[in-house]
Chains A and B, each alone.
Chain A
Amino acid sequence: MPEPKYNATELMIINAARLLKDGDQVFVGVGIPNLACNLARRTHAPNLQMIYEAGIIGARPKRLPLSIGDPTLVSGALSVCSMFEVFSLYLQRGNIDVGFLGGAQIDQFGNINATVIGDYAHPKVRLPGSGGSMEIAAWANRCYIITPHQLRRFPARVDFHTSAGFLEGGDARAKTGVRGSGPQAVVTNLGILKPDANGELVLAALHPGCSFEQAQANTGWALKQAEELEVTSAPTEEELRILREELDPQRIYI
């Protein structure tokens, strides 16, 4: 049987979906995280629950949501509450298992910059800012980051800590007392980075056909490999079929 063909976005969505567990309460954004959650729900995690920062609990979108507050997220949802309530009763209270994060820069210790390139007061490039990510990164039990693997996205240090990973490494995060365990995986088009005992992101897995050299060339610090570097299993035909035929038939994101 020939290997199924897939693109980088499909590869990232499928690998992110595999990180989710059945029953996870997931604080999710639109786009790739939304697709990963819906794929997980249709495969190994039918009881996964999607929670949106707009205040929607248990969304069951009938069409692909195109905005973080798409009306399809509301119709058929389990509950709708105010933004203050979703951030306080659900996130701050500790009821969220998984948060998805993104940003322009991710550093060696999983800290994210979504705020500014250059000086804050005199920005070279002004980015959108935190949105919900400052609190999601702190208070979700575990966080996942999905991003293309590019040198400019992986500097050794970020210009601005929009949300906390492991800060300067070691016990720096633990000392702040934040409840969540921080970023547990960064899924890229080349492989998966995971934090080591010191909180440093190391290469834990490569996707089929990708090399350590490629990953290193696109990472702004001396990348370490996990003791047992794994190779992810290729996307299955079933995963690709669900993604292409059921979840994003118009190929808006994939």
Chain B
Amino acid sequence: MSKLTSLSEAIHQHVHDGDLVYAAGFTHLIPFAAGHEIIRQGIKNLTLARATPDLIYDQMVAAGCARKVIFSYSGNPGVGSLKWLRDGMQNGSLEWEEYSHFGMISRLQAGASGLPFMPMRQTGALDLEKANPLYRRVADPYGGEDVVVVPALCPDVAIVHVQRADSEGNAHIWGILGEQREAAFAAKRVILTAEEIVDADVIRSDPNRTLIPSLVVSAVCHVPWCAHPSYTQGYYDRDNELYLRWEEISKDEASMQAYLDEWVYGVKDREEYMAKLGEDTRERLKPGVRLSAPVNYGSY
């Protein structure tokens, strides 16, 4: 059964005030279009979880959507900081819960596997364990060293962007996989956004690449360029210029508000956003072609 719907309808249906949201994607496939739609719909008091909050959560925090963040690296990688998250944590207006990358994705792995928690080896660095009481230690029942454990994370809703999916939500992903799959299996509801909607035959032609199956997907949205200024491998490059300019754009309330007015509130949807971004930028971000060698699954 087709789960195709508009992004605006999917957000309206599945993201509610107070939800724990996991908009997935490690540098790659970050669903900015969905973040912008949440801002436009004025959804509030969200707990925003991501390993790397990135510009998307800085924007959502600045727009007043968030009560709390859960993260493992809150910076603009290689560039600087995420001002609105940093200020919120420094002035006490934003709650936070913090892990290392491995702690964060282990929480999702537990959630995705239906386990109560996930064990990890000790790291010798105790301060984060002390600062975050959800880190615990458990004796190895088989007599080894104590392990560090983190509880399952089961988001109310995960938003996952992919290269292509069929209308039921069976999705192919390639390139950096990050925590896409774990987020989808851990969440109670999943909004899948895709660069392309393809026939089921295309999905079935390469089943090893189907990392997210329809059975965990609640809604499927066709959203080309959903990830800009993040990227989609093989479709468009990361818009590093915007990441480099983020420090300046986000520096104070006036410039941040001007950005949101122009690029979020000032457009109806991602199609308008991309039209506004313009042909030159879209061309600049187009990658060359590098195809993989086909594999023979065999006909049986």
Contact = CB atoms under 8 A, between A and B. Distances in A.
B177 interface: yes
B40 interface: no
Nearest to A134: B100
Contact of A67 (B100, B101, B126, B243): B243
A12 interface: no
Contact of B105 (A73, A84, A134, A163): A84
Interface string B110-126: 00000000001111111
B177 A80 contact: yes
Contacts of A68: 27, 77-78
- Greatest chain A CB density within 10 A among B28, B103, B105, B125 is at B125
Interface string B150-184: 00000000000000000000000011111111100
A87 B102 contact: yes
A83 interface: yes
A82 B102 contact: no
Majority-rule SS of A interface residues = loop
Contacts of A139: 121, 123
Nearest 7 pairs between A and B by C-beta? A69-B27, A128-B75, A164-B124, A131-B73, A138-B123, A134-B100, A130-B100
Given A70-B238, A87-B101, 18 more contacts: A54-B176, A56-B176, A69-B238, A83-B51, A83-B105, A84-B108, A87-B102, A115-B128, A124-B90, A127-B75, A129-B72, A129-B98, A130-B99, A134-B102, A134-B103, A134-B125, A135-B100, A139-B123
Given A67-B240, A68-B78, A128-B74, A74 B233 contact: yes
Nearest to A179: B121
Interface stretch (A148-156, A170-178, A213-221): A170-178
B122 A67 contact: no
B90 A176 contact: no
Contacts of B125: 111, 134, 137-138, 161-164
A177 B106 contact: no
Nearest to A177: B145
Contacts of A133: 100
B243 to A, nearest CB: 7
Contacts of B131: 120-121
Nearest to A70: B238
Contacts, number: 172
Interface string A187-206: 00000000000000000000
Contacts of A131: 52, 72-73, 75, 100-101
A229 interface: no
A82 B238 contact: no
27 contacts: A53-B101, A54-B26, A54-B178, A66-B240, A67-B240, A68-B27, A69-B176, A71-B237, A74-B176, A82-B181, A83-B101, A111-B125, A120-B131, A127-B75, A128-B73, A129-B75, A129-B100, A130-B72, A130-B99, A131-B52, A132-B102, A138-B124, A138-B125, A139-B123, A173-B124, A176-B124, A178-B124
B86 interface: yes
Interface of B: 26-28, 51-52, 71-75, 77-78, 81, 86, 89-90, 92, 98-103, 105-106, 108-109, 120-128, 131, 145, 174-182, 231, 233, 237-238, 240, 243, 287, 290
A54 B179 contact: no
B27 A67 contact: yes
A146 to B, nearest CB: 14
Contacts of B73: 128-132
Contacts of A132: 73, 100-102
A67 B123 contact: no
Given A68-B77, A131-B72, A134-B123, A92 B128 contact: no
Nearest to B180: A82
**From DSSP, what is the main secondary structure of chain B's interface residues?**
loop
Contacts of B109: 84
A75 B231 CA distance: 14
A244 interface: no
B124 A162 contact: no
B97 to A, nearest CB: 11
A55 interface: yes
A67 B77 contact: yes
A230 to B, nearest CB: 29
Given A80-B175, A82-B182, A123-B90, A164 B102 contact: no
B78 A67 contact: yes
A166 to B, nearest CB: 9
A125 interface: yes
B28 A54 contact: yes
A122 B131 CA distance: 12
Contacts of B122: 138, 176-178
